Every structure is written in structure tokens, then in C-alpha cells.
Structure 1
Amino acid sequence: MSLARQLLLLQVAVLALVIAAGTALGIVDQLRDSDDANRREVTAVAQTLALSDSTAAALRSPDPTAMLQPETERIRGATGVDFVVVMAPDRTRYTHTNPALIGQPFDGNIDRALAGETFTETYAGSLGPSVRAVTPVYDDGTLVGLVSVGVTRARVGAEVAAGLPLLFTLAGAGLVASTLGALLLSRRLRRQTLGLAPDELRRLYEHHDAVLHSIGEGLVVLGRGRSGDGEFVELVNDEARRLLDLPDGPVRLADLPESLRSADPDEPADAGDEVHLTANRVLVVGRHPVDWERRRIGTVLTVRDHTELREVLGELDSARGFAETLRSQAHESANRLHTIVTMVELGRYDEAVAFATDELRLSQHLIDRLMSTVEEPALAALLLGKVGEAAERGVELTVTEDTALGPVATMRPRELVTLVGNLVDNAVDAARDTDNPWVEVSVRQEDSMLVVRVADSGPGLTPDALARATARGYSTKSGSRGLGLALVAQVVSRHRGSVRTEPSAGSMLVVEIPLAPVAGDA
């Protein structure tokens, strides 16, 4: 049985018990109030009759019954009491509701009345159990008789019974209203517990806690308010805190990277993984909406660290580009070799020598220059590869004569490849759409500062466009591409550098990174 149903049955049972107890107490209270009212009434009637001069005069007359019986019956009918008995001090009745009992002794206690006290009691007399009052009658200070006025308990019960339908109606209405409230609460609890039983909830929590601390992926659970007023962070495991650099304790939605905060409410459940960038990592995020009873109740984000993989892929792309360049150059070399052989066979020796040495001189000059001025082999190979790759794409890529870079102790080769490679790739993409496509690259050290300048014939980026393009998680391209400038910004931010645009013949991006460790860096 689900927790909601167990709680519903318990609530209904408790409510029924409480309402039944309340009804019983109400009946008892009504009986007590009715007794109190009857005691006051019979006391008032008895005292009024005892204080009447006609009562004392009748008691001193030779035939008290003849004078008192009609009067007491009239009073009994007018006040609604069950009996009015006037008696002598020796208990002899002068009046009674049942005339047959007149002259017989009165049943009940009269000692306190003989002593001059008016009192009330519940006593089983000739008419059954009754609530009665007994008071003395004086004439010139002499006790001449007693008056007893009473109401039977049967009449009290009838009065209480007359009010029971209303009491039971109110109790039933209270039970119905309480049951409806319990049903609504049970329905809400069922939605919140997904209809699970207590044992299932306990096992689910145990499994949930064990899985959260054992899985190697980051996990973020976003809840959604019932009124659709946005999402909030319900749960974050340890790996997600590490990958997203989240603080200890409760996590707010504002603590998450901006690209992870919002989601399309109509997003399908089979949405693919996305690449997101944080300050120090490249993350692959899977977004999995959670629906229950055709209603979106939240979103589960899985976070995997692909920083190392992305850097290796960048190096692999550079190596592949370099290999493709070598392949194309080998193909071109074969063509040139065939041309030279043909020119020799034709006896045009001078032209063959000039043709061979000119092509060799141009390519060898670039290789010699980069290998001698750029001490990082990966960066030199990257630049050589990008020249050939750009040429195949119809773009003239020039590495400036002032390009020179010694050892860079503060940056890893992977970071240099990521930085320069993505800047060149974006520049080539931008230049291809122009009539005279060209790209110019300069990498050099200026006053303990690594300065990378990449100019191209493209339209360029405004400062606002550059800010959007370098935003973490921003992409204008499909697939795994479109993160080039964001990756550049990540490297620049990691080393406390800067990236900006500068006016030139076309467009230019300038990156400056301190080569000396910045104060505060570990």
C-alpha cells in the first residue's frame, strides 16, 4: 500500500474517532447543561410557590389539598415541570400529579429543607428518576410545610434527543469535510511520492544515496514548480560539484553556469548531448527531462569531463592537417618532378633547374624559418600544416617574418595548439567568403608577454560579437564545431590574459598572455 493511501486511512480513522469522541462529549455536555437549567427552573418555581402568602394560608386551613391541588396543577402546566408537591413537615402530601398519591408520604430527602435550606437532588421517586428542588414554607417564622418541584430524567432525555439530529448532522458534515481534506492531502502526497510505499521510498533513498556517491559522472537534478514558475536545483552530487566548481551546501540555480540554467519546456526526452565550456573545462552535458502523469516535473543533467579529450582532439586535428599538407605536398612534388623530368628530356635544362629551385626555395624557407624561430615543435608543425590546409581551401595564409617564440614554461603545448589553431581556423572560415581571401598570423614574445595576432580579409567582429563568441557554451555551428573562440577564451582566462579586436586592413584578433606566473597563481 502506498504511503499516501496509508496516510489517508490513518487520517480518516483518526478523524472519525475524534468526531465520535467530540459528539459523545457534546451529548454529555448537553445533558449537563440541561440538568443545570432544570435545577435552576425547579428551584425558582419551588421558591416562588413557597414564598406565596396563599400557600402558607392554605397549609394552615383545615383542607390544604382543596386549596392547593388546583393551583399546583395550574402552575405545573404553565411552567412545564413534571410534578409540584406541597407537603406537611411530616412528609404527608397535600398535592401530587397523581391524585391517588395524595395523603401518602413523600419519597425523598427533606432533612435539609426542614433545617431551612433550599436544595436540589436527583432522586428516583414515584414518577421515576427526577431532578427535584425542595424548599421550606414559613408563616410568621414557623415552618408550616415543604414544596418540592421536579422534572423527570425521561423528559430531560427527550429534550436532549430532540437536539441530537442537529448534532449528528454537524458531526457528519465535519467528517465529510475532513475526509475530503484528507483525500486532497493524500492526492498531493501521492504526487509528491510518486505513489510509492514507505518501504519502497526507504529503498529508493538508500539506492539513490549509494548511486550518487559511486557514479563517476556529474549529476544535477532540476525540479520544476507546480505553477510552471521555473526550475530550481534539487540535487547535486559530488562529481558535479567538482566539475562545475559549485560551493558546499545548498546550490541555487544562479550558481550553475549560465548555459545550464535554462531549458526548453517542450524539449524531447531523447535530446542529445551538448558541449558546454566552463572556466577550466570542456564538459559534455546530457539533458534528460523527467515526466510523470504527462507533466514535466524536472530535468536530470549528466555532466562528463571531456577537457583532456578535447585537447587531444585539437592536437590530433593539427597533426591530421599537417599530414594532409604533407600528402598534398608529396602529390605536388610528384607533379613537379614529372614536369622537371619532361623538361630535361626535352633538353630544356636551364628552365628545369630554375623551376625546381624556385619551388624548393619557397617551401624550404618557411620550414627553416619556423623551425629556427619557434622552439615549440607542436606550434611550428601546426603553423606549417595550417599554411597547406588554408591553401587547399583557397585561402592565402602568411606567417609573418617577425614570428618568433622561445620556450613557454607557463603554457602546455596543448594549450598553444588550442589557442593558435582555433584562431587560425576561425580566420580561414571568415576569409573564405571574401573575393580575395587571405589570413596573416603572427606569434611572438613582447616584454614577457605572448602576443598572437591573427588578421584576415573577413568582415571582422564587433566587441559585442566577440563577447558573444567567446562566451562559455556559445556556438553558432552545428555538431562539435563552433566552440573555437570559446576555447580560446578559456585558455586566455586560465592564464589571466586578454583577447580583443583591432582595426586593420581586414579584421584582427589580438591575444595577450603573460609568460611570467601571475601573483596568486598556484
Structure 2
Amino acid sequence: MRDWSLAKQMLVLQLAVVVVTLAGAVTLTLVQTHELLVEEAEGRVRAVAVSVASSPDVLSALARPHPSVRLQPYAERVRTATGVDFVTIMDTSGRRYTHPNPAQIGGRFLGHIDRALLGETFTETYTGTLGPSTRAVAPVKDSSGAVRGLVSAGITVERIDARLREQIAWAALIGGVGLGVGTGGTWLVGARLRRQTHGLGPVELGRIHEHHDAILHAVREGLLLVARDGTLTLCNDGARTLLGLPPDAEGRHVADLGIADLVQPLPRESVTPPPTASPSPGEPEPKSPPALPRETEPKSPPAPSGEPEPKAVEERIHIVGDRVLVVDVAPSRLGAVVTLRDRTELQALTGQLDAERGFADSLRAAAHEAANRLHTVISLVELGRTEQAVAFGTAELRAAQELTDRVVGSIREPFLAALLLGKTAEAAERGTELVITPDSELDDLDLDPRKVVTIVGNLIDNAIEAAGRVEVCLRADADTFVIRVADDGPGLSDPAAFGKGWTSKGDGRGLGLALVGQAVRQLGGTIEVAGSAFTVRLPL
């Protein structure tokens, strides 16, 4: 049986249960039926015996000579009318006056009569001339209470057994029908179980569960299974770590966990938070769990007519705490499957690469401009205009040195100074004027330089793309580091700008302002937006 599939084992087990149950039920029914038939027979013969013994005609006939002449026809009429097998009337010594077989009249009654002679009516099972029978014996009393004769009425055991055999036939028929229905139902259950388990046995199913559990909790990527009503049905260890979910997350609604936006492909009404009871007077309003910001989702073009629509698999970026997550959502028949990948380290490396690329572009632009100016100086020397060549070269050197002195003189933080020099060259290459305000004054910062560079660099990049003139102010006031980036562009009007996926181009793929917001939160600062001016305050 160990090699049988789970469906086959369940089929055999259920069939065994059905057979044992039906056999027990039929046996119990037959036993109870036999007892009821015996009780019914005892009650009937007792009633007949008592009724005949109480008849005045019987007492009158016993007092006359040759009682059988009157009693035999009477007893046969009573036997036929009541359906008993015999009615025997006898004297106190047990000599019969009546019997279904007239040849037995005058013989001795086979059975006990002692208790009847004492005035008691009783029943017993005894073997007489007609075979084993259930019989009752009642005394015939006169007006003074003296026993003048005896009456016995009985039903043979064979007749009771015949009625029991009829019940057995009906019980067998009903049991057969029940067995057929039970077998059919068991087969249907087994077939359904076989389809659901793919014919696998308990050992294989247990091994699959062990593998599933081991893989589910071993992978670093997060996995969520969300039902159509928005209930989180499965959450692995990776998802708990990436999203900061509590241990009892499974079975709760995604809105209560603050991750409703992760399952947006589900119908919106499916992820509506369940109603909560209103607080009692005097109690504070319950705070809603923080929801992840929602990014703009690009609309996919409709499938051509006659072709099946592709299965929707969404890949989005979410900022959760200090993590950058790539979220894949695949709608399924039961809800949605959500996978999470941590892209924080990759994003940090990408940011460093972008910074290096920016510096390289700045150096390339500077080299290009230096080459142009050097060619100009060489050409002036070749033309014999030495004084003009010296003046031109000196002016270019003075302008470059002034820019470096202005930046390094006010911004003595090396990371930010290098960043501003590179962004100034990049802005000049794009035709944008980048100005360091005169009130900028900054020494070494006791802050994470990577996060500060992320904030300043992304704000300047967005300003360069949107405007022709950008002003940057960096200063430390008492215990606060203030970053202010303003431009002459149209300003910010979309409140979702600090959510993932926002760009001024509206393609849903931006991440700069989201990273700014993440870095500011990690440093415990605040962001203020007034038109095209962004002001960040970070505590020192």
C-alpha cells in the first residue's frame, strides 16, 4: 500500500469505512427488528390469552360436560381472527380441550403452567407440538377468583423468523443501494483527489512540501501570494525582511499591512480595506498603516482583434524604507503572485557609475573646450599675433581658476566641491548656467557623503533638464545643513513627484526624486517645495 497513490489509498479507506458502516448498520437493524418482532409476538399472544380467559363463554363451557364441543370452534375462530398459531384451552391439570390439530385434543399441554395456576399471566418460549413457539399462559377465574382453567395462545418461532427474513431482504436491498451510492461517491471523491494530487502518493507529496518549504524560505527574493479579496495567503522570509512585515502577516488584509499598492493588478474593490469599528468617545482615531506610494503605470496597447491578450506581468520599482525594490506582479486565477527583488546595492552602484560617468563627461567636455582654445592660441602664434595669443590664454586660465576658487573657497567639503565642479561643466555643455550663490558656505560635514551627493546631484540634474539657469546654495546654519536648488523652469505641480516612477517626461520610469526623498528620510531631514525651488534641511 505504500506504493499506492494518495487517491487510491483514500479510495480503499473510504470503501472500507462505507462497507463496515453499512454492515454494522444492517446488523444492528436486524437485531433490533428481531427484538421488536419477539416483543410484538409476546404482546399479541398475551392479549389473546387474557381476552379468551376473560370470556364468560369459556368459563361457562368449562363448567359443563364435554367442554371441547363448544370451546374448539370458538378457539379456532379466535385463532383465525387474531393471526396467532394456536389457542389452547385446558383444565387446571393441563389436559387440552382445544388445539389446531384436533387429534391433540385430550393430550397434555407441553409447557409450564405453575405460575398460571397461581393466578399469574406470563409468557415464555417453549417447544410444543407445533415446534418452538412464543406463548402466553393466562388463568381462567370464576367470580370468587378461583382458577377454573387455563388458556394458552402462541406464535411459532418459525413464523417470527419468516417475518425477520422478509426484513433481511429489505435491509439487504437498502444496504446494497447504500453501498452502491457510497462506492460511487467514493470513486468520484477519489477521482477528484487524483486530479488534484496528480496521482502522487503521501511520500511524494510530503517530499514536495518539504522541498517547497525549504526553497520558499531559502531564497533571498520575496514572494507574496494574495487572494482576490486582498488577503495575504503566503509570505516567505525574504518578503518579511524586505517589507518589514510582522510575523502574523499571513491571513491579514494587504491594506492593514500597508502594501495594497503592490497588488494593483487585482480589481480595486478587491483590495479595499475591511471596515473597522468606529472608536468609542474619548478614544483616539486609529492610524492607517503607511501605504507605499503609487507610481504611474504605462498603459499597454490593446491586443489585435482575434488574438488573446497577453498575461499581464507588471514590473515596478518601490522605495521601502532604505531599500529599492523591483516588484513583479502576475495576476492569477486565485489573485496575484508578487515577487520582490532587492535592488538597493545595484542602485547604489548605478548611482556611483552615473557620477563617474558625469565626471568623465565633464572631463571630456573640458578637454574638448581646452583643445579648441589651444588650437586658437596656436593659430594666433602662427599668425604672429603673440600678444593676442597670450591675452586669450591668460583670460581662459583666469576664468577656469576663478570657477575653481569660487567653488572650493565656499564649499570646502571635497565630495560636494567635486560634484559641483562636474555639474557646472555638464550644465555648460547643455547650455545651462549653474550658479553657486554668494551665501554658500560649507565646511566638512558629519553626514553620509553618499546620501548627500545623492540629494544634491539628483536635484541639480532635474533642474538642469527643466531650466536654463540653476542656482545652488549649500550652507550650514547652526545645527542644520541647508540645501537649496532653484531654477527658472515651470516648477513642480505634481504631488507624486517624490513617488517612484515620476518624471517630467511622464514615462513612469523616473527614480531621482524618489531617491532624494529616501535619502532625506534616512538622514532625518525635511523637504520643502515652492514652485521651482527645493529646500532640504538635514540635522547635523
Q: Distance in 2 between matches of 1:383 and 1:481?
A: 26
Deviation of 1:345 (Å): 2.8
Q: Tell me if structure 1 keeps the 8 A contact 2:314–2:329.
A: yes
The whole-number CA distance in structure 1 between the counterparts of 2:157 and 2:477 is 113
Q: Distance in 2 between matches of 1:267 and 1:8?
A: 41
In 1, distance between residues paired with 2:186 and 2:440? 79
Query: What is aligned with 1:389?
Result: 426
**2:451 matched residue in structure 1:** 415
Quote how far apart the aligned CAs of 1:14 are: 1.1
CA apart distance, 1:445: 1.6
Confirm whether residue 243 of structure 1 aligns to residue 239 of structure 2. Answer: no
Which residue, 156, 162, 183 being the options, matches 2:160?
Answer: 156
Change (3 A) 1:258 1:40: closer
| Aligned partner of 2:466 among 426, 430, 444 | 430
| 1:234 aligned residue | 234
Measured at CA, do residues 382 and 40 of structure 1 come closer, stay the same or move farther in structure 2, by a change above 3 Å?
A: same
* Counterpart among 364, 374, 390 of residue 337 in structure 1: 374
With over 3 angstroms needed to count, the CA separation of the structure-2 counterparts of 1:420 and 1:195, relative to structure 1, is: farther
Shift of 1:44: 0.9
Could you tell me how far apart the structure 2 residues matched to 1:413 and 1:480 are? Answer: 28
Inter-CA distance 62–161: structure 2 relative to 1 (3 Å threshold) = same
CA–CA distance in structure 2, aligned partners of residues 192 and 219 of structure 1 = 27
Q: Contact 1:91/1:106 (CA < 8 Å) preserved in 2?
A: yes
1:21-60: CA deviation from partner (whole Å, max 9, x where unpaired): 1122112112212221221111111101101111111122
Q: Which amino acid aligns with 2:206?
A: R
Aligned to 2:323: 281
Question: Structure 1's 12 and 364: CA in aligned 2 closer, same or farther, altered over 3 A?
Answer: farther
Show the 5 A alignment for 1:15-94.
15-94=18-97
Separation in structure 2 between the aligned mates of residue 495 and residue 186 of structure 1, nearest angstrom? 61
Structure 1 residue aligned with 2:533, among 508, 513, 516? Answer: 508
**TM superposition shift of 1:125:** 2.5
Q: Does 1:482 align with 2:482?
A: no
Partner of 2:294: none
Q: How far is the alpha carbon of 1:20 from its aligned partner?
A: 2.1
1:245 and 1:257 mapped to 2: Cα distance?
Answer: 11
* Matching residue of 1:519: none
Deviation of the 1:395 alpha carbon:
3.1
Q: In structure 2, how many angstroms separate the alpha carbons of the residues matched to 1:214 and 1:311? A: 25
Pick the aligned partner of 2:437 from 395, 400, 414.
Answer: 400
Give how far 1:256 is off: 5.5
Contact conserved, 1:312 with 1:414, CA < 8 A, in 2?
Answer: no
What stretches of structure 1 of length at least 5 have no aligned partner? 432-436, 516-522
Q: Give the distance between the partners of 1:180 and 1:399, measured in 2 at CA.
A: 87
Equivalent position of 1:314 in the other structure:
351
CA distance in 1, matches of 2:19, 2:412: 88
Map Cα deviations across residues 375-420 of structure 1 (whole Å, 9 max, x no partner).
33222222222222233334333332333322211x2121111111
- 1:299 aligns to 2:337 (yes or no): yes
1:374 aligns with 2:374: no
Residue 363 of structure 1: aligned partner: 400
Q: How many angstroms apart in 2 are the aligned matches of 1:283 and 1:57?
A: 113
The total of aligned residue pairs comes to 492
RMSD: 3.1
> Which of these residues, 400, 424, 439, is aligned with residue 470 of structure 2?
439
Q: What's the offset of the Cα at 1:480?
A: 10
My pick for the range that moved more, 10-19 or 168-177, is 168-177
1:13 aligns with 2:16: yes
C-alpha separation in 1, matches of 2:188 and 2:486: 68
Matches within 5 A, 1:446-465: 446-462=477-493, 465=494
The AA in structure 2 aligned to 1:301 is T
**Cα displacement (A) at 1:127:** 2.3
Task: Work out the CA distance in 1 between the residues paired with 2:187 and 2:464.
Answer: 67
Letter in 2 for 1:211: I
How big is the shift at 1:66? Answer: 1.3
Percent identity over the alignment is: 47
TM-score by length of 2: 0.81
In the superposition, relative to structure 1, how do residues 10 and 379 fare at CA in structure 2: closer, same or farther (>3 Å)? Answer: same
In structure 2, what is the Cα distance between the partners aligned to 1:255 and 1:356? 65
Q: TM-score, normalized by length of structure 1?
A: 0.84
3-state SS of paired residue (2:422) = helix
One-letter amino acid of the structure 2 residue matched with residue 341 of structure 1: I
1:323 matched to 2:360? The reply is yes
Superposed displacement of residue 213, structure 1: 4.8
TM alignment of 1:107-256, pairs within 5 A: 107-139=110-142, 140-163=144-167, 167=171, 171=175, 196-215=200-219, 217-224=220-227, 228-237=228-237, 239-251=238-250, 252=252, 253=254, 254-255=256-257
Structure 1 residue 132: deviation in Å? Answer: 1.2
Residue identity in the other structure for 2:522: R
Compare 486-495 and 343-352 and name the one that shifted more: 343-352
Cα distance in 1 between the residues matched to 2:427 and 2:198: 58
CA distance in 2, matches of 1:379, 1:57: 138
Q: Is the 8 A contact 2:222 2:242 kept in 1?
A: no
Please state whether the residue corresponding to 1:469 is helix, strand or coil.
coil
Distance 1:258 1:132 in 2: 83
Q: Which amino acid aligns with 1:149?
A: A
